[in-house]
Amino acid sequence: MVMRAIGRLIWVPIAFLIAAAAAMFVLVTLGLETITHAVHNLDGDETISAAFDVAWQSTLIATGATIVPALLVVIIGEVARIRSWLYYLLGGGAALAAIPLIARIDPGTMTYSLPALWHVFATAGFAGGFVYWLLAGRNA
């Protein structure tokens, strides 16, 4: 019993880090594709200003992106012993979709940013939540 609890205390953070890496991979690859499509549709003069806007918003996201929402999903799931893949999938998607709101991105700066950004973050959160469930959540 004690060894199982100690093993769980070691495995849960490792699984969380692996799931965060998977979510970050999806976020970077899907986000890069979305940004490329959005910048490609702009005129030549707007491209430089759009690149600066993307860089500024990336900085806002990097500073505003905390792991608190994802940690809350994991802690609630572990304490309540929730084993449902749907909980971790939806919880991860909601936790990462909340990050643009936390970062306070201004939708007036880039008209294409907010809906596409929420889709990218939600997809990355779904991937991270599912990976966490595969590694640790199904044995909560």
Query: In sequence order, which residues have a C-beta less than 8 Å from that of residue 91 and are 6 or more positions away?
Result: 73, 76, 77, 129
Residue 22: what residue type?
A
What span, in angstroms and rounded, lies between the C-alpha atoms of 84 and 49?
45
What pLDDT shows up at residue 111?
Answer: 47
Are 11 and 137 a contacting pair, CB within 8 Å?
Answer: no
Which of 10, 127, 132, 7 lies closest to 71, judged by CA? 132
Angle, in degrees to the nearest 10, between helices 68-79 and 85-97: 160
pTM: 0.74
Query: In sequence order, which residues have a C-beta less than 8 Å from that of residue 61 and are 6 or more positions away?
Result: 99, 100, 103, 105
What pLDDT shows up at residue 102?
Answer: 66
* Segments of the chain scoring below 50 in pLDDT: 110-112
What pLDDT shows up at residue 16?
Answer: 92
